[in-house]
Structure 1
Amino acid sequence: MRIPDFKLERYFARWEFSAPYLLCSSDIEGWRMKDLLALADPDGQARWDALTLGYTESTGLPALREEIAALYPGLSPDDVLTFAGAQEAVFVLMNVLLGAGDHAVVTWPGYQSLYEVARATGADVTLLPLREEDGWALDLDALRRALTPRTRVVVVNFPHNPTGALPDRATFEALCALCDERGIHLLSDEVYRLLEHDARDTLPPAASVSPRAFSLGVMSKAFGLAGLRVGWLASRDADVLRRCMAYKDYTTICNAAPAEVLALIALRAKARVLERSRALLAANLALLDSFFARHADTFQWVRPRAGSVAFPRLLRDEPVARFAQALVEREGVLLLPGDVYDFPGNHFRLGLGRSNLPDALVRLERFVSDTRGSGG
């Protein structure tokens, strides 16, 4: 398999552990181990205390799959397959569903693996643009036009990375119905689900709506546990899940035992875990509302409806990559230029989920003021 460099990951490899302010991270502030263990119920604590570092079940710890299945109305633990992060789940599913001569449609801008892994299987990929002028909305008519008799998979990501877009329920259910009518699998990347800024906007999981859909989940985003590297696919398509299970024998085989128990503890305490995430996002969004109002001459944004990222646009007559480079060098604040998505328009990804966002905004504001009229 030949696959291009992952531009976003290469960018983060350069800056993630040297820049003090990651104002573009997509995850929620990570939990400290002691704070997570303090949430453990007696069974979870007993599992942690008695843990041995051997191999685990390839499908995932049964108790963990039971907790994951509870996130998907109508699904059982047998409808869940765990992976070492969402990235592995994408890789495995794309290789199971696609091959030379097949076709996939993927929303864009988006996480690069959602389309590059599909291309690497030999499939043709059509990128379906989301447009700022439409509020980053999903255009179902454009999707219909993109479908062909060879289309095997449609890939969407809502809540959306990097824009924070979220369709209404009618649009989402129409998307699921369209894929069902055409006999097309839907991969619904839902790693930011449960981070809706208005809980009334929460969509049902695709796996609960359609028997051909796959809901992608992970502990990294809403739950603030990226270091666990625990992800999953949920689906009622038993045949494809079985094929994914067999393919996984050639990747990680099984998850890390400590990660599974820690994920189980977090999911059993999900109300408290999610409350922390949502409170952090609400506080940071309020600061960003004021920031963008003060700097309407420099930035434009579509306020995100869900998730922990947004995709503002730099209005200055300079490339956003140059702006971001100067910012991180002078102030230690990292933004993610839209170039990493190969997406036009001088956009950049902004992360909403870190506790030091207030300090990062102070530094960004100082940089904006100091460079106003200077071209950076």
Structure 2
Amino acid sequence: MRIKPFTLERYFAKYEFSTKYLISSSDCDGYSLDYILKQANQEELSLWNNLKFGYTDSSGSDFLRKAIINQYNYINEDEVKAMTPGEANYALMNILLTKCDEIVCISPAYQSLYQVAESLGAKIKFWKPVKMGEGFYFDTDDLNNLVNENTKLIIINFPHNPTGFVPTITEQQKIVEIASKYNTILFSDEMYHKIVHKPEYDIPSFCDIYENAISLWGMAKSFGLAGMRFGWIASKRTDILNDVVSFKDYLSICNNAAGEVLTTIALNHKDKFIDPNIEKIKKNKAIFVEFVNRHSDLLGFSDTKAGSTAFVRLNFDKNAFDYCEDLVKKTGIMMIPSEMFEYGNSHVRIGFGRENFEEVLGVWEGYIYR
């Protein structure tokens, strides 16, 4: 299989580790190893201190899977498989899809959610948002019009990257009804799960409410542990999960031993990781609202309910890519244009998860006033 370059990740590779400021990252500031271990109880510290770097169970060690299933209401240890999130996506697409299969994928989206499928020869219909003022809304009626008896797979992502949209409980149930009407498999990217700006915006994992759903979660976004490179999939479809683990033999084979222990600690003390990230996101978003109000002639933004990002409109003729290229060269601020999502040329992604957000806005404002 030949696959296109990952546009967004190649753009990050160009600037992420060489420029001074990042304002579009979807992850939050990373926690230190010292911070993680300070949250651990004696049993968890014993796991860490006695860690040996041998092979691990390809599905995930027992202690890890016990920590994972505690995040769900109706999932047991046989219904979770641990691996890197990208690996899970890659394996699932190869297992589930063949040439000419029809799928529906949310858009804009992280490229791997649809690119692997496209490279396998799948035919993709995109579920795109409706503009609501300066915000975005994914209408379930539009999804219903895209799905039919030939739909092999529906791919969704909530809280949504990059728009920050999350459905209501009622809308979530409608998505499940649409999928279940044709017994369609639902792959739910939930990497921003639990990052909600008010408690009432929280929704359950799709694997807890639909027997044909496969939910993906991990350490990178909600937990502020992107460098851990750790995640998992959860589903009642153990036949699919077992096929994923078999496919994994051609990829990583097993999980990294240190990551299993550190992930277990983070899961068992998740409030110590997720809650500070939510507060940081909310604080930075409030600062950004004031920034947009000062520059409403240039920027269009509507409040988000979840996740760590927003998709902000540029109200001028210059396309987003050219604007971002000029910005990074003149200020050292790396900003992601909507072209990296293959979604027009008039938006940029803003990330709210970094401690220096206000400082970076100040540098951006200086650029605006030039």
Shorter chain as normaliser: what TM range?
Answer: over 0.9
**8 Å contact from structure 2 (residues 20, 333) kept in 1:** yes
Are the counterparts in 2 of residues 309 and 349 from structure 1 also a CA contact under 8 Å? yes
Paired positions, count: 369
Amino acid at match of 2:202: T
The equivalent of 1:93 in structure 2 is 92
Q: Distance in 1 between matches of 2:117 and 2:43?
A: 41
Counterpart of 1:96 in structure 2: which amino acid?
I
Query: Counterpart in 2 of 1:165?
Result: 165
Q: Kindly state the Cα deviation for residue 305 of structure 1 after the two structures are TM-superposed.
A: 0.9
Alignment match, 1:279: 279
1:116 aligns with 2:115: yes
> Contact conserved, 2:98 with 2:121, CA < 8 A, in 1?
yes
Structure 2 counterpart of 1:277, which letter?
A: N
Compute the TM-score of the two structures, normalised by the length of structure 1: 0.96
1:324 alignment counterpart? 324
Which secondary structure state, in structure 2, belongs to the residue aligned with residue 9 of structure 1? helix
Alignment correspondent of 2:263: 263
Compare 129-138 and 296-305 and name the one that shifted more.
129-138
Q: Secondary structure at the match of 2:161?
A: coil
* 2:79 equivalent to 1:51: no
What residue number does 1:75 align with?
Answer: 75
Letter in 1 for 2:349: R
CA contact (8 A) 1:177 1:210 kept: no
1:145, CA displacement in angstroms? 1.9
User: How far does residue 199 in structure 1 lie from its aligned partner after superposition?
Assistant: 1.2
Aligned position for 1:374:
none
Distance 1:344 1:275 in 2: 34
Q: Deviations over 1:317-348 (max 9, x none)?
A: 21111111111112111110000111115101
- The residue identity in structure 2 corresponding to 1:113 is S
Unaligned runs of 5+ in 1: 371-376
**2-structure distance, mates of 1:314, 1:280:** 25
Conserved in 2, the CA contact under 8 Å of 1:313 and 1:345? no
Displacement after TM superposition at 1:301 (Å): 1.2
Which residues in structure 2 correspond to 1:157-306 (within 5 Å)? 157-306=157-306
Contact kept in structure 2, 1:65 and 1:80, CA below 8 Å? yes
Gaps spanning 5+ residues in structure 2: where? none
**CA distance in 1 between partners of 2:33 and 2:183 (Å):** 44
1:278-318 Cα distance to aligned partner (Å, 9 max, x none):
12112111111111111101100122110001000111221
Map 1:121-140; keep pairs closer than 5 Å.
121-133=120-132, 135-140=135-140
Deviation >3 Å, runs of 4+: none
Asked whether the 8 Å contact 2:130–2:139 carries over to 1, the reply is no
Separation of aligned partners in 2, 1:60 and 1:52? 15
Q: How far, CA to CA, are the matches of 1:274 and 1:149 in structure 2?
A: 39
The corresponding residue for 2:307 is: 307
Query: SS in structure 2 opposite 1:63?
Result: helix
Aligned partner letter, 1:238: T
Q: How far apart, in 1, do the equivalents of 2:77 and 2:289 lie?
A: 41
d(CA) in 1 for partners of 2:223, 2:212: 26
Does residue 337 (structure 1) correspond to residue 306 (structure 2)? The answer is: no
For the residues of structure 2 that align with 1:3 and 1:127, how far apart are their CA atoms?
A: 19
| SS of alignment partner, residue 27 of structure 1 | coil
Partner AA of 1:235 in structure 2: S
Q: Say whether residues 1:38 and 2:26 are aligned partners.
A: no
Q: Which moved more, 1:118-127 or 1:335-344?
A: 118-127
CA contact (8 A) 2:299 2:313 kept: yes
Quick one: which amino acid aligns to residue 177 of structure 1? E
- In structure 1, the partner of 2:360 is 360
Q: Do the aligned residues in 2 keep the contact of 1:101 with 1:150 (CA within 8 Å)?
A: no
Q: Classify the secondary structure of the residue corresponding to 2:275.
A: helix
Aligned to 1:322, the other structure's residue is in SS state helix
Q: For the aligned residues, what is the CA RMSD?
A: 1.1
| Inter-partner Cα distance in structure 2 for 1:168 and 1:187 | 18
Alpha-carbon distance, 1:133 to partner: 3.3
User: Alignment identity in percent?
Assistant: 36
The superposition leaves residues 210-261 of structure 1 with CA deviations (integer Å, 9 ceiling, x where unpaired) of 0000111010001000111111111011111111111111111111101111
| Partner Cα distance (1:25, 1:234) in 2 | 26
1:373: which partner in 2? none
Moved more, 199-208 or 144-153: 144-153
CA contact (8 A) 1:132 1:302 kept: no
Residue 149 of structure 1: CA displacement? 2.8
Residue equivalent to 1:107: 106
Equivalent AA in structure 1 for residue 287 of structure 2:
L
Secondary structure in 1 aligned to 2:247? helix
For the residues of structure 2 that align with 1:76 and 1:286, how far apart are their CA atoms? 39
C-alpha separation in 2, matches of 1:343 and 1:278: 27
